[in-house]
Structure 1
Amino acid sequence: MTSSQAVRVGRAGATPPRSSVPADPVTGPVGVRTRPARRSSDHDAPTITLRTTIAPSPTPATAAVPEAAAPATTVASASPRTGRGTRRATSAATGVTTVSVLVPAHNEEAGITATVEGLLAQDVPEWLHIAEVVVVANNCTDRTAEIARRYPVTVLEMAHNPDKKAGALNHGWRETARGADLVLTMDADTVLLPDTVAAMADELRGNAVLGAVCARYWATPGRGLVWRLQRLEYTRYDDLRDLRRWKVSVASGAAAMYRNVALEAVAATREAGEPWDGTSLIEDYALTLELKARGFRVAAARKAHVYTTPPASFRELWVQRMRWGRGGMDECLKRGWSTATRQDCLSYVLFGFSVFFRVLFLTMLALMIIYAVPFRYALIGLIPLAVMWLERMTSMLRVPDRGWRDVAIVAVLIVEDFYGFFLELCAVVSAWRCLNARRQAW
């Protein structure tokens, strides 16, 4: 493991000069994201634009320096380990909240530029200070670390990390982030809107019971049926969070912000002294359950928006959902029935009933066709179908930048039904493997 320290990112003067953004013939200006339109009752309706920052190549003075050759003063400034509580005590005295950002990245050379530039373009108020942005190159075999070093961020390389994303987060937290008040973790294929960090920090600032908040995530502009179906799914999931008053079952790893005292509380109970569980398939959910078990609440930050890149094919989607499904069930079985897991355990029971009634409904429709049930009786069985169609159509109207293809997918109903079958099959197979103790890899 080697580390490279560049210029720290702060509120005053650390961001390079902004430049014009080239246009893309498909998605518009490169790096530009607009806030998704929401229902009229949502006060967070205005559309804003994210203009990313193009950073110059590092000068010889700030270029990456091997750890062995770095001066002692550089090593001391690269990590708060020598004075772990100094920064937090200073921020408490000045009234400024400090944030450290951790970006675990595994072979993300295609997206790390947009991710880092989105972070450097953050607008923060006077009470907030982004102390540093740390990119943890996790088992990378591409140019992720090299590209990240072009920007004023800290780059840590982990050549042999058996704990994958959790190991990268623990390493970054241990080396650089323990002195901050808040810790923002985000995927390397996620792009923040300019006010995301401030919105998440403000949510934590206004509610002392919250141990973590996550952003509302949307699909990065793309093409194809798989992308459109996931974009619709993300929109409906956001509506569900709205109905639940922004309570969530997991602080999504796409972008989540934690109180450092909450992370310290979890780390204190682990043998390794680290917050994230390296044995978990979904480390964000495992950490969420640990926070809930210690009395912290977890919620979605209503004004925080991010764009994340969804799987590009059904094969990739299958792998992702199998890991999510198996990981969630493993964590619940590991902890059993408790205040932290009981709501999720009940969700699994309701899911079982949902699958049963879906199969029952399809069987009923098939029998109606086979035995030529009179139309007046068949209409009764179609009432649930009509209700479902209306719900999907109204939800589709809140999809950002929707087009005629999105309307057609929802209107014909059968395409989304097959997508629902696919996701349910992922969950059923995950449950089968979990109950049979079959190994599920990352």
Structure 2
Amino acid sequence: MLIVVGIKALNEEDHIARTIESALAALDPFTGKVVLADSGSVDRTVEIARRYPIEIVQLANTDERCCGAGAQLAYQSAMDADFFYLLDGDMVLDAEFLKVAVARLQADPQVAGISGVVVECNLVSQQYRISQQNTKHEEANVDRLDGGGLYRVAAVASVNYFADRNLHAFEEFELGARLTSKGWRLLRIGQPAVYHYGHLTGGYRLLWRRLRSGYSGGAGEVLRAALGQPHFKAVLLRLRHLHVGAVVIVWWMMLAGAAASAAWPLLAVIIAAPWAGLALRRGSAALGLYSLASWNVATLGLIGGLLQRRTPPTEPLSHKRLKSLATGTQTQTGIR
């Protein structure tokens, strides 16, 4: 088998049909399969997915639900393939990208994975407008494949597992840190890879959702996972959220000091300065304020993530196989 396209999804009934159709179309020139890894959807995601010639697996224990678990569950069906593409359930895969990425990986055995441009299609949320601002189109070696990518399975095998099942975010960064610390290269090319139809939720509601779901704790979880590991230095140097968290904690201390000493003019300056700087950077006072709020939420999450309990990341995820590609029938076989 050459390629497995793994789709991780949770309650994506609005998007899952076109996501699956795009994956099947992209896979058409190759030998492979599409696998839907569902994290316990309670909407029509699985019902819709059953119409297509794909495999469907579902997380057995929804208490284990997180971004890393969804990605690792998808990968567990790809270990016999040459390449694995990770796709979110609200994305559309560009078929031409897959052709180019396969050719590049076959031509350069030192490259562990290739990503392309993520095109944001829903710009209601401030978060996705900022993501679109930060999108880079030039080809470059990178430290992670944001938004999914095509990976060499042999490279993943050399670092023991695809995604850390404990991570609520930054699972792609964490994988990249392990791969590059092992000597592999990751490449981003300037070609569109996926079209992302992100949440239409407003930015501040999205921040609250990330705080409640544990997503904001991802950076702390990555740091804790790296303690004593070969990729620890890479995490410290490259994970920007750790640097932002350190700055925000110093900012909190300055705020507390100014308030404790009743230095109200200084307090006002300390509050306004980062907002003004971020507003200039984003080209908008509203986006600057949102960025400041996002930094604070991320720092709160960072602290919480450092305290989270961990399950060994090499332990397979228990799951139910809802549909087999060979038979098209439902089974209930779980594995550990």
| TM-score of the aligned structures, taking structure 1 as reference length | 0.56
Deviations 1:267-308 (A, max 9, x none): 3xxxxxx53322222333332232223222223232133122
Gaps of 5+ in 1: 1-86, 88-97, 268-273, 372-381, 393-409
- Paired letter, 2:194: V
In our comparison, the structure showing a higher alpha carbon Rg is: 1
2:30 matches 1:129: yes
CA contact (8 A) 2:92 2:195 kept: yes
User: What SS does the aligned partner of 1:285 have?
Assistant: helix
Gaps of 5+ in 2: 259-263, 311-336
- Cα distance change of structure 1 residues 248 and 332 upon mapping to structure 2, 3 Å threshold: farther
User: What SS does the aligned partner of 1:136 have?
Assistant: strand
CA contact (8 A) 1:190 1:255 kept: no
Aligned partner (choices 201, 205, 220) of residue 102 of structure 2: 201
**CA–CA distance in 1 between the matches of 2:278 and 2:80?**
52
CA RMSD of aligned residues (A): 3.8
Q: Which residue of 2 aligns with 1:84?
A: none
Q: Which residue of 1 aligns with 2:224?
A: 333
CA contact (8 A) 1:104 1:187 kept: yes
**CA–CA distance in 1 between the matches of 2:68 and 2:208?**
21
Aligned partner (choices 292, 308, 317) of residue 180 of structure 2: 292
Aligned partner (choices 198, 210, 235) of residue 310 of structure 1: 198
2:8 matches 1:108: no
2:149 matches 1:256: yes
User: What SS does the aligned partner of 1:129 have?
Assistant: coil
Q: Which residue of 2 aligns with 1:426?
A: 297
2:137 matches 1:233: no
For CA contacts below 8 A with separation 6 or more, give which structure has more relative contact order.
2
Q: CA deviation at 1:158?
A: 4.1
**CA–CA distance in 2 between the matches of 1:387 and 1:163?**
36
Matches within 5 A, 1:58-207: 87=1, 98-122=2-26, 129-160=30-61, 162-164=63-65, 165-175=67-77, 177-207=78-108
CA contact (8 A) 1:190 1:306 kept: yes
Deviations 1:38-93 (A, max 9, x none): xxxxxxxxxxxxxxxxxxxxxxxxxxxxxxxxxxxxxxxxxxxxxxxxx4xxxxxx
CA contact (8 A) 1:325 1:427 kept: yes
**CA–CA distance in 1 between the matches of 2:168 and 2:277?**
38
Deviations 1:143-179 (A, max 9, x none): 212211222322334444553354444444334x222
**CA–CA distance in 2 between the matches of 1:139 and 1:387?**
38
**CA–CA distance in 2 between the matches of 1:343 and 1:275?**
17
Matches within 5 A, 1:274-285: 274-282=161-169, 283-285=171-173
**CA–CA distance in 1 between the matches of 2:140 and 2:286?**
29
Deviations 1:91-149 (A, max 9, x none): xxxxxxx211111222221110121122233387xxx6151111123322222122112
CA contact (8 A) 1:111 1:189 kept: yes
| TM-score of the aligned structures, taking structure 2 as reference length | 0.71
**CA–CA distance in 1 between the matches of 2:176 and 2:105?**
15
